[in-house]
Amino acid sequence: MKQIFTDVLAQADIKIDGGRAWDIQVHDEAFYKRVLAGGSLALGESFMDGWWTCDALDQFFDRLLQARLNRKVVPLSAKLYVARSKVMNLQSKLGSRTVVDTHYQLSPALFMSFLDPYNQYTCGYFKDTDELNQAQEDKLDLICRKLQLSEGDRVLDIGCGWGGFAKFASQRYGANVTGVTISDKQLAYAQQYCAGLTVNFVKSDYRDFAGTDFDKVLVCGMIEHVGHKNYRSLFETAHRSLKDGGLFLLHTIGRHRSGSNTDAWMHKYIFPNAMMPAPKQLTSAAERLFALNDWHNFGTYYDNTLMAWNENFVNNWNDLSEEYDERFFRMWTYYLLMCAGTFRSNKKQLWQIVFAKRRGATAGYESVR
């Protein structure tokens, strides 16, 4: 089995027990059988268990994905998950609680250990900087400028996270922001974080939110948890929440072709039932509701973002080690660096898309970069 593995990895110029940063070091001979039987899930779990290591996981995954080796071993369990996701609505109201309970209910201290002061858990905008904090401020300002934000505007932030956009838009632009979340921990943190500002937060599933007459709507890093069966519902919520002609900005990771699946390891350990949309799925969800004003891809900056997050996480690990064990440390670095390699290989992209509510929409929107 080792020879099979050696031959497969050679297609990506990766060696077993080699001396380059992207080569892997195998510490348990059962690794080969385990991964050949279990695919990506077993690859990640065996790393968490210390069966193999790599000095530069980001480079390993970049090479692996460029060579399309992720398609070489697809176990039956992964195929069954794809089939189930096509038939079932895995992101129903009940299903949406799964990712919250698995990921977003983790201690805020974990996330604050590697995020910027605005707690941005989405791609930064590194166009004019190499520094994470500035890149996240530039991303927030880019969103505000694309939304043509003005003082007094009522803004709906669906999937508001820890309140970073709300704080920025209120302080810098004088906006009145309503943030919507289903995470108790994010809600409590955001309320304290934005105390005294023109901001309020509501615990609600986006499908149940009944607010109207907003000037602008933002969905930033949230639609990845919505699922293809619910894209239209999200767009309908944005539509009914907006005034006629109002702008809606969607910030999302994207995939090149339509699908309904996610990586098996990511599904189990990081983002259960996560699903990256494709262009066709988004434009279909927007049809008859919105005019498409602008589509901006800066996925290359997610590589920078994730590498900075990983550096911060590693540097601050001592502050977390009493709450989390070494297996969690390996899991989290694997997650961040695998994702960095994914964006570096262009297997995923990052889009900011600006829509206008068709009723009342006017011509002349100019793209902002």
The pair of structure tokens assigned to 209 is: 């939110």
Asked if 105 and 184 touch (Cβ cutoff 8 Å), the reply is yes
Instruction: Provide the CB-side half-sphere exposure for 266 (13 A, CA).
Output: 16
* Type of residue found at 202: V
Burial of 284 (0-12, 13-18, 19+ CB in 10 A): middle
From residue 27, give the alpha-carbon distance in Å to each of 16, 257, 295, 300: 10, 37, 46, 33
Asked if 307 and 340 touch (Cβ cutoff 8 Å), the reply is yes
Share of the chain above pLDDT 90, in %: 86
- The whole-number pLDDT of residue 365 equals 96
- The whole-number pLDDT of residue 260 equals 76
pTM across the whole model: 0.93
Q: Strand, helix or coil at 352?
A: strand
The catalytic residues are: 339
pLDDT band at 302 (very low <50, low <70, confident <90, very high): very high
- In CATH terms, the fold of domain 95-316+346-357 is Rossmann fold (3.40.50)
**Rounded Cα gap, residues 353 and 66, in angstroms:** 27
Q: Which residues pair with 354 in a beta bridge?
A: 249, 294
Contacts (Cβ under 8 Å, ≥6 apart) of 248: 216, 217, 218, 219, 238, 239, 242, 290, 354, 355, 356, 357
**Rounded Cα gap, residues 327 and 299, in angstroms:** 29
Mean per-residue pLDDT, 330-336: 98
Q: Mean pLDDT score of the chain, rounded to an integer?
A: 93
> How far is Cα of residue 251 from the mean position of the Cα atoms in its chain?
10
Reported as a single tens digit per residue, the pLDDT across 131-156 is 999 999 999 999 999 999 999 999 99
**What are the percentages of helix, strand and coil residues in the chain, rounded to 5?**
45, 15, 35
- The whole-number pLDDT of residue 81 equals 45
From residue 367, give the alpha-carbon distance in Å to each of 73, 172, 272, 281, 353: 42, 21, 34, 22, 10
Asked if 24 and 16 touch (Cβ cutoff 8 Å), the reply is yes
Higher pLDDT, 255 or 96: 255
pLDDT band at 262 (very low <50, low <70, confident <90, very high): confident
Burial of 169 (0-12, 13-18, 19+ CB in 10 A): buried
Whether residue 293 has pLDDT greater than 80: yes
The pair of structure tokens assigned to 330 is: 């390996």
- The whole-number pLDDT of residue 100 equals 77
- The whole-number pLDDT of residue 101 equals 76
- The whole-number pLDDT of residue 83 equals 43
Domain boundaries, the chain: 2-74, 95-316+346-357
Alpha-carbon Rg for the chain in angstroms: 21
